[in-house]
Amino acid sequence: MKLSRRRFLLSATAVAGAMVVGWGALPARQRVRGKVPLPGSGGAVALNGWVAIAPDNSVTVAMARSEMGQGVHTALPMLLAEELDVPLAQVKLVQAPHDKIYGNVAILADSLPFHPDEDGRGKRLAGWLVSKLGRELGINMTGGSSSVKDLWLPMREAGATARALLIEAAAREWKVRSLECFTEDGHVAHPNGKRASYGSLVAAAAGMTPGEVRLKTVGQFRLIGTAVARRDSPSKSDGSAVFGLDVRPEGMLYAAVRMSPVIGGAVASADTQAVLKMPGVSRVVDFSAALAEKTGAGAGVAVVAAHYWQARQAAAALPVVWLEGVNGKLSSAEVFRQFARQLDDEDGHVYYTVGEVGDVAEAPGAVKTLKAEYRSPFLAHAAMEPLNCTAQVKDGKVRLWVSTQAPSLAIDAAAKAAGVSAADVTLEITMLGGGFGRRLETDFIAQAVAVAKECNGAPVQLIWSREDDTTHDVYRPAALARFNASLDAAGNIAAWDNQSVSASIGHQFFKRNLGLPGAGPDKTTAEGEFDMQYEIPNQRIRHIIADSAVPVGYFRSVGHSHNAFFKESFIDELAHAAGQSGASFRRGMLNRHPRHLAVLNAAVDKAGQPPAGRAHGVALHQSFGTIVAQVAEVSVVDKQIIVHRVVCAVDCGIAVNPGIISQQVESSVVFGLSAALGAEITIKDGKVEQANFHQYPVLRMDQAPKVETIIMLSAEPPEGMGEPAVPPVAPAVANAVFALTGQRLRSLPLRLA
């Protein structure tokens, strides 16, 4: 491989960072002991920043990630409980305080644009530098399928450290060697028959220094690897779970919003007197100033009332004059015309190159050339729970109750909107009724705080309607991709050239939420294209970042969500041109990737042969460290695509909780099929045309296929699992449709002519 400009710059940055005032030589910031006391009850004593134990032997564990249906309230405490040797039922959770030890390091390290097969000094140095920076920043966020991956060591180390302290306390009390003691089910024991509960030892243990701290080996796990029932399921089933919309502080008011219908528009005027006499209405607040250049939502006003329906009715009736601004003629059609011009005129940033790629038809041995163009639309997140935030601004303090994926960013946004310091903001994170990346944003939080600031200390629950949510999202970027490849006489790919164009999520997100300028390459634009594991001797993958007036944001599986469709569909085109099945064609390019090959074979073998009238489509893709192969079983009736069955094999490293992994696969398949079969955001005259589910369909229960999950055995550290089963769905279905009909569908959503 050639040393690209990207690798040189990243390596140079890493070296420079290591030389700054000796910072790089300092030991990495530890992630076990916090500076902020861990909340506890019942006389609980904290042994570190993650675990506290009460005299009644109950164990409190800090929860540093948001539960949005992915099962972290079960999987993460399993890590600590395993090393602490306590039953999971004995563990209760408390929201982690605002402390750097809870920051997400893995999500930053995974953002580096290196190919998974690369293992050079530059990659290792850049990864070390970014991980070290992540520890220093301590930004707490839930996303990137990183929760278990990031906390795999810190939470286990916290449990093992606490266990060592308790053993030391028992050994001193019994006047025996600590190495002679052992633990089981929340007790320290000795072969001589002595036994003491953790609760009886914790006070003494808290003042000690632990002896040797050892993490368990994979063979010693008793809890990790078992399909423990979800801890959040009972409360979600009986209605006692608290989501953002369930918060009810005393004296709470409600707020409904009206936002500019044109992207980037502004409020010219609002006739507030027209609604102030309506039942329950107390005030109208223009929140535009609090959101300048910080939000995808744009300018607008909120109506505050005693009840939500009163607020919403008044907001709908409020006469507002809007300034359209420069985007009054913006359209999806023009976006794609711009994309095509850029692909015609620009080269873009080269994310990966190997061998020589000039004219693919001139590659050694090339006898046949194929070209194709693929496209995907903007997509909305469409979470079940619309955006909402409850805020109170009183006596120079801010209190938030909110469903957020990014507590650190939420606190900063609230502080700025209220004009106070971050230390004056307290945050209570509720359950999330879906996140998918949308709740990484802070626009709705800044709105709520700006409104609450005008309400004389009363808490205010600001709620977006479904229409607000759909028409003012930060959308999955639209994208256009072109492929040009050649085959040799044996049907192997001789050369592969891939160029794509889309907006950059990173550029917009960092400006909106961190106040940082967006510049340079963005891995998410080309992920799923440049990082494939197929062994092609000559390949080049480039991407062009397009300026976008349309706000774009992180979406479940991000760039992989559409780039996998492009790449895996074109692979299928080449397989057909080579006269091979999709599975056998892929196998021929995985000689040095045994894990990928094993996953592919497992899915194909499990799927078997399709029944009469149906066809199978195959896709193989790696994202967030996890390898996924899917086989979709599809039929077509009156031009309607019906997906009957999806077989999914995954290699995600150690399966912490196989039950949750299967659930995430099922969820991902449904999410991916919604995008593949019907979801599309279009823009006309600067306005989003879709407003609710009748125009933006998501998969219904009667459309959901049977999903069969195969979890590959592995002793590797766990990788991401919340998103990796999304990307292969669309290409697997599209490839099956081609096998049935001969029509190659190159645009999402999939529609037969």
Does 45 score more than 60 pLDDT? yes
**The predicted structure's pLDDT at residue 480:** 98
Does 3 score more than 80 pLDDT? no
Does 5 score more than 60 pLDDT? no
**The predicted structure's pLDDT at residue 37:** 87
**The predicted structure's pLDDT at residue 42:** 87
Average pLDDT, the chain: 94
pLDDT bucket at 657, cuts 50 / 70 / 90: very high
Assign 188 to helix, strand or coil.
strand
Contact 398, 392 (CB under 8 A): yes
Which whole number is the average pLDDT over 82-93? 97
Does 244 score more than 60 pLDDT? yes
**The predicted structure's pLDDT at residue 752:** 96
Q: What is the pLDDT of residues 57-80, one digit of tens each?
A: 999 999 999 999 999 999 999 999
Q: What is the pLDDT of residues 390-418, one digit of tens each?
A: 999 999 999 999 999 999 999 999 999 99
How far, in Å, are 107, 200, 364, 453, 661 from residue 705 at the CA level? 31, 52, 44, 48, 17
Q: Which residues contact 539 (CB under 8 A, 6 or more apart)?
A: 352, 353, 354, 355, 357, 495, 496, 497, 498
Does 570 score more than 50 pLDDT? yes
Q: What is the pLDDT of residues 501-556, one digit of tens each?
A: 999 999 999 988 888 888 889 999 999 999 999 999 999 999 999 999 999 999 99
Token readout for 428 is: 């209570």
Does 365 score more than 50 pLDDT? yes
Does 31 score more than 80 pLDDT? yes
**The predicted structure's pLDDT at residue 14:** 42
Which whole number is the average pLDDT over 252-274? 95
Which whole number is the average pLDDT over 472-480? 97
Nearest to 585 by CA among 558, 619, 541, 562: 619
Which whole number is the average pLDDT over 10-27? 48
Contact 39, 99 (CB under 8 A): no
Which whole number is the average pLDDT over 13-27? 49
**The predicted structure's pLDDT at residue 24:** 57
Q: What is the pLDDT of residues 661-690, one digit of tens each?
A: 999 999 999 999 999 999 999 999 999 999
How far, in Å, are 140, 397, 567 from residue 721 at the CA level? 19, 38, 21
How far, in Å, are 229, 386, 508, 745 from residue 299 at the CA level? 44, 19, 17, 39
Which amino acid, residue 635? S
**The predicted structure's pLDDT at residue 13:** 43
Which whole number is the average pLDDT over 290-302? 72
Does 236 score more than 60 pLDDT? yes
Q: Which residues contact 505 (CB under 8 A, 6 or more apart)?
A: 477, 522, 524, 525, 552, 553, 554, 555, 558, 559
How many other C-beta atoms lie within 10 A of the C-beta of residue 269? Answer: 11
**The predicted structure's pLDDT at residue 7:** 42
**Helix, strand, coil abundance in the chain, percent, nearest 5:** 35, 25, 40
**The predicted structure's pLDDT at residue 26:** 63
Q: What is the pLDDT of residues 170-179, one digit of tens each?
A: 999 999 999 9
Which whole number is the average pLDDT over 253-268? 95
Q: Please state whether 193 falls in left (phi above 0), alpha (psi between -120 and 50) or beta.
A: left
Q: Cα 411 to chain center, whole Å?
A: 20
pLDDT bucket at 187, cuts 50 / 70 / 90: very high
Does 449 score more than 70 pLDDT? yes
**The predicted structure's pLDDT at residue 292:** 57
Q: What is the pLDDT of residues 192-215, one digit of tens each?
A: 999 999 999 999 999 899 888 999
**The predicted structure's pLDDT at residue 1:** 37
**The predicted structure's pLDDT at residue 624:** 98
Q: Which stretches of 609-709 are DSSP H helices? A: 658-677
Contact 647, 630 (CB under 8 A): yes
Which whole number is the average pLDDT over 127-154? 94
Share of the chain above pLDDT 90, in %: 89
The model carries a pTM of 0.94
Structural domains present in the chain: 45-104+139-238 (3.30.365.10), 244-326+387-463 (3.30.365.10), 332-379+475-741 (3.30.365.10)
Which whole number is the average pLDDT over 447-467? 97
Does 23 score more than 70 pLDDT? no
Q: What is the pLDDT of residues 368-382, one digit of tens each?
A: 999 999 999 999 999
**The predicted structure's pLDDT at residue 683:** 98
Whole-number Å distance between alpha carbons of 362 and 553: 40
